Structures are given as C-alpha cells and as structure tokens.
C-alpha cells in the first residue's frame, strides 16, 4: 500500500508520459536522448551494484572466520596472511565481478 502522502496523487497515465517525453525531447533534442538514457542506465547499474556489495559485505562479515576462509578458497582467493576483514572485502569484490559479467 502507498504511503498516505502518495495516495492522493493522481497516477501518471499514457498521455502524461507522452507529454513528459515530448517536453524532454524539446529541452534536450533528439541527439542527447540516447546519452541521457545511457547515463541513467549506468547510474542505476552502479547504485544496484553498490547496494548489493553492502548487503553482501554485511552477510559475509557476520560469518565465522572458518566459513569466510572456506568461501575464499572456493572462489580462488589466497587466504595466507590475510585478516577476516581483508578476506571479506576480496570475497565481496569477487562476487560483484561475477555478477556484473
């Protein structure tokens, strides 16, 4: 259910989106639209990646050191001489790399 403040706002329908698109087209021109869309897509992708890394880091940090070492070895990360925190960072980076492919 929507928050009380948003319940009273009218929903945006098809014609409204068309008008919004035409205004954007007039303001920025047809040549800039692909750049704007690409930039927005990259921003959304980066936001999702950053939030995923934060969640992953919290999950892995709460694990025991033995589990962290086991996961690191499964991912092919060298564990010698590294603290749990270092391993957690490397695990999260490795997971982020594999998800972005």
Summarize pLDDT for 53-65 with one digit per residue, the tens. Answer: 776 667 766 778 8
| CA separation for the pair 96, 101 (Å, rounded) | 9
Domain that holds residue 46: 12-100
Is 38 part of any domain? yes
Distances (CA, A) of 85 to 51, 59, 65, 98: 18, 12, 9, 20
Mean pLDDT computed over every residue of the chain: 79
Is 6 part of any domain? no
Per-residue pLDDT band at 7 (split at 50, 70, 90): low
Q: What is the pLDDT of residue 63?
A: 77
| CA separation for the pair 71, 65 (Å, rounded) | 10
Choose between 16 and 96: higher pLDDT. Answer: 16
Is 3 part of any domain? no
| Residue 17 structure tokens | 């989106």
**Domain count of the fold of the chain:** 1
């Amino acid at each position: 259910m929507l928050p009380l403040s948003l319940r009273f706002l009218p929903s945006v329908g098809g014609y409204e989106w068309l008008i919004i698109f035409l205004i954007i087209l007039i303001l920025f021109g047809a040549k800039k639209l692909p750049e704007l869309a690409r930039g927005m897509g990259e921003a959304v992708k980066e936001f999702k990646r950053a939030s995923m890394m934060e969640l992953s880091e919290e999950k892995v940090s709460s694990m025991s050191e033995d589990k962290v070492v086991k996961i690191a070895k499964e991912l092919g990360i060298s564990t010698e001489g590294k603290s749990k925190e270092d391993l957690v960072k490397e695990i999260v980076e490795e997971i982020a790399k594999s998800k972005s492919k």
